[in-house]
Each structure stands twice: as structure tokens, then as C-alpha cells.
Amino acid sequence: MKETSNIIVQSSNNGISRIKLNEPGTYNALSLNTLKSLIKIFKIFNNDKKTKVIIIEGSGKGFSAGHNLKEIKSLKGKADYQKLFNLCSELMMNIVHNSKPVIAKVHGAAFAAGCQLVATCDLALCTKDAIFATPGVNIGLFCSTPMVALSRNVNRKRTMKMLLMGEPITAQHAKKIGLINDYFDSSKLEEEVLKLAKTIASKSTKIIKMGKEAFYKQLEMPLDEAYKYTSKVMCENMKILDAQEGILAYLEKRVPNWKNK
């Protein structure tokens, strides 16, 4: 692992690359420096041919408490605020548009922009005692940017309840409302996350990239446009060498030999 003052990075190991937020003293706050580092790392992994899946987690007691309030208090005005929130949005868009699936491995608390980060990741697994919240309303700073990711994973009434109440929800409830995929005993989380990552890493990276891009594009389209768009994607998919190999391997009852082409 490569370690900096705020991030620990592990480059591809069997196709799995890892990012660990490494500021336990601030509960892994998403400071300006951390946001800049994360954007840079996600761009590197996006272009890294060896990376097939990315796992992001936090060190210390939990995942991330969101923005650093001490840092926010020290900012000089609108231009500084805009820079911070624009960087955070840039990070989230880098994850959505990243060609590699991103898994959030969560323990402890994921609050505010930390909850936004979980909601933005393609998949999320957590410990049974993990908690999630958008508590900005409690300090007079409504979680407006976190609600973008949250409202695209959770239905309106439940999203609004989290935003208006500002109270933590349990892992069990987070699964029920679709914020996470599943939760496990803390002793099992690493095993389950790796199992998921290894399964995804065994697929064609070319097909995964195409599928992830299409998934997020069609979400924002009207139904008829979504079907027209995805029909075109399916046609393009059929031309790809790995699609031909995958179909042939299925018919021949063998494991596909992906060329990622």
C-alpha cells in the first residue's frame, strides 16, 4: 500500500484496487486536500488497465463524517465555499463516470458527504452496527448536495425523512430503503467485500465499462428514450469480441477467456 497523510492506496491485486481514507482524527473528513487526492486517485484507477474493481473504506472508528466543519468555518466566503462543494461534486461524478465499479466498505458512521459518498458508489456493504445520516439540518446547513446521490438511491419520502430529521439510520434500515446492498458482522465484512469484488473482477472489463455507463445514462431518460438508447447499446455490445466469446463459452459449457476487447 502507498500511504500519504490522508489516503492509503493499494494498486491492483488480482484486479482489485483499494482506497482507504486515512484521517481518523477528523473521522475521515472530506477536506479540500482529501477531495483533491481522491479525484486524482479515481482518475488514475479509471485509466489503469490492471484495475477492474475499486474498494473504498475508512480507517479508525468509521467511514466518514463528511466535510470538515472546522475547515468550513475557516473559509473566507462564497468563492471558497463554491470551490469546496464543486470539488465534492467532481469527486462524486468521477465515481459515477469511472469505468470501474466502486464498492463502499463501510463501518461506523457515514454522515453527510460521507453518506453521499456511500450513495454514489455503485455498491455498498457495511457492518451490522454501521449508521448513516444526513444531519446538516441540525446545524443549519441542509444536506443539499448529499441529497442528490441519496434521492437517486432511496425513494422521495424516505429521503426527505432523512434530510428533515437529520437522525441516524441503522444498517438494517439502510438496506431496507436501498442505500446499501447488505450488512454483515464486522469479522465477516472484509471477506464479503472481497468475494463481491473478485466476482466482478472475473468479468470482461470491456463489458462492465459499457454496462455501467449505460446504466447511469438511462436512469435520467424517459422510458421510451431509455429503451431506444439501451437497444443501441445492446447492438454495439453484440459486436464486441468478448460477447462472442461469452456466448460461445456458454454454449460449450466452459469458462470464458476474456480478451477485454
Average of pLDDT values for 52-61? 97
> What whole-number distance in Å separates Cα of residue 249 and Cα of residue 253?
6
pLDDT band at 2 (very low <50, low <70, confident <90, very high): low
- Could you tell me the residue range of the domain that residue 42 belongs to? 2-201
* pLDDT for res 1: 52
Picking from 201, 220, 241, the residue at the C-terminal end of a domain is 201
Q: How confident is the model at residue 51 (pLDDT cuts 50, 70, 90)?
A: very high
Q: Kindly state whether residue 261 falls inside one of the protein's structural domains.
A: no
State the total domains in the chain: 2
In a domain, 92, yes or no: yes
Q: Does residue 13 share a domain with residue 122? A: yes
The reported pLDDT for the residue numbered 141 is: 94
- Is residue 184 located within the same domain as residue 217? no
Question: What's the rounded Cα separation, in Å, for the pair 64 and 196?
Answer: 22
DSSP 35: H
Q: Is residue 259 part of a domain?
A: no
Q: Can you list the positions of beta strands (E) in the chain?
A: 2-3, 7-13, 16-21, 53-58, 102-106, 109-111, 123-127, 131-133, 169-170, 182-184
pLDDT band at 179 (very low <50, low <70, confident <90, very high): very high
Mean pLDDT confidence for 145-164:
97
Rounded percentage of the chain residues whose pLDDT exceeds 90 = 93
What digits encode the pLDDT tens for the residues 71-117? 988 988 889 999 999 999 999 999 999 999 999 999 999 999 999 99
pLDDT recorded at residue 77: 86
Q: What's the pLDDT score for residue 75?
A: 86
Helix axes 223-239, 205-219, angle to 10 degrees: 170
Mean pLDDT of 170-197: 98
In terms of domains, do 139 and 197 share one?
Answer: yes
Look over the chain and give the mean of its residue pLDDT values, rounded to a whole number: 95
Q: Please determine, for residue 3, whether its predicted confidence score (pLDDT) is greater than 70.
A: no
Q: Let me know if residue 141 belongs to a domain.
A: yes
Of all residues in the chain, the percent with pLDDT exceeding 70 is 98
CATH of the domain at 239: 1.10.12
* Beta-carbon contacts of residue 259 (< 8 Å; ≥ 6 apart): 241, 242, 245
Confirm whether 257 is domain-assigned.
no
**185 and 107 share a domain?**
yes
Q: Domain check: are 54 and 115 in the same one?
A: yes
- Three-state SS at 25: helix
Per-residue pLDDT tens over the stretch 110-147: 999 999 999 999 999 999 999 999 999 999 999 999 99
Band of residue 4 on the pLDDT scale cut at 50, 70, 90: low
Q: Does 148 share its domain with 168?
A: yes
Asked whether residue 164 falls in the same domain as residue 180, the answer is yes
What is this structure's pTM? 0.95
End-to-end CA distance of the chain: 30
In whole angstroms, give the CA distance from residue 198 to residue 174: 24
Which of 65-79, 176-190, 207-221, 228-242 shows the lowest mean pLDDT across its residues?
65-79
Q: Give domain status of residue 133, yes or no.
A: yes
Regarding whether 235 and 195 lie in a shared domain, the answer is no
Do residues 124 and 73 both lie within one domain?
Answer: yes
* DSSP E strands, 148-260: 169-170, 182-184
111 and 21 in a common domain:
yes
39 within a domain of the structure (yes/no): yes
| Residue 129's CATH number | 3.90.226.10
Residue 30 and residue 108 in one domain: yes
